[in-house]
Structure 1
């Protein structure tokens, strides 16, 4: 396989740091371009009597978008090795947002980290990485967080 477009899903965690490192190493080997995607989970909606979102929520989303972009820049600067990188920050649920961005950007591979949670938490919540792997149209490389 020769991947030319690699999407790396990141958040502000150790496991996504490992995924970013692995994703950029692959991109370097395949001479591929990278898209870093950070999903901003939607906050519970609060509706004012005039049916608009409360200003606090709008401000929170603005700050989240700004913080998300800063995170993506930091990761690209740390691991990017000069590889062409597209930044994708969107408001969505994690699984849906990652898959949608991979489809829209034309990713040929998704690289994602996993927290490695087990037991009852995994039984109840599942894993974003696992859901992405099941629903993605392209291959998914899951990078485990080994302590």
Structure 2
């Protein structure tokens, strides 16, 4: 497998941090570059009578984008060890956004963490990692939350 571009999907969770560590380790082994992607989930917008977005939505997006950029920078500082890193952030649903960013960036591998939820919660909410694995055009490495470093 020839891996030149590793896309690592992150959010503000411990399972995401584990995925970032493994993603950067994998990139180092292959001499690949990394893209960190954080999806900003859409906020239901209030539409004014003149069909413009309410200022509250725009302010929320600005804050989310700023928080997303800060998260990506923190992950890079913690794990990159000099690996070339690109930041990708967009407003979308998690699974669709990750797949779309992977395609646009031409990723060779997606690394994503999973909470490992089961039962009713999994049935009702589904799994972002599972959806990405089913729909992605490139291989997906899923890091379970229970994974521990050797």
Shorter-normalised TM range: over 0.9
Q: For the residues of structure 2 that align with 1:119 and 1:6, how far apart are their CA atoms?
A: 31
Q: CA deviation digits over 1:103-141, x for unaligned, max 9?
A: 000000000000111110001111000000000000000
- The residue that corresponds to 1:142 in the other structure is 142
The aligned residue for residue 84 of structure 1 is 84
Structure 1 residue ranges without an equivalent (≥5): none
Partner residue in 1 for 2:133: 133
CA distance in 1, matches of 2:2, 2:80: 19
1:22 is paired with a residue whose SS is helix
Report the RMSD for the aligned CA atoms in angstroms.
Answer: 0.8
Matched with 2:121 is: 121
CA distance in 1, matches of 2:63, 2:120: 33
Q: Hey, what's the Cα distance between the residues in 1 that align with 2:49 and 2:124?
A: 35
- After superposition, give the CA deviation of every residue in 1:10-64 in whole Å (9 maximum; x if it has no partner): 0000010000000000000000000000000000121111111110110000010
Residue pairs, 1:23-62, within 5 angstroms: 23-62=23-62
1:62-109, CA deviations, whole angstroms, 9 ceiling, x for partnerless residues?
A: 010011000000000000111000000110011110000000000000
| Cross-structure match for 1:64 | 64
> In structure 1, how many angstroms separate the alpha carbons of the residues matched to 2:35 and 2:55?
31
The aligned residue for residue 100 of structure 1 is 100
Give the 4+ runs in structure 1 shifted more than 2 A: none
| In 1, Cα distance between equivalents of 2:19 and 2:46 | 35
Alpha-carbon distance in 1 for matches of 2:111, 2:124? 24
Could you say what secondary structure the match of 1:34 adopts? strand
Tell me the CA shift for residue 2 of structure 1.
2.4
Provide the rounded CA distance (Å) in 1 between the counterparts of 2:137 and 2:122. 24
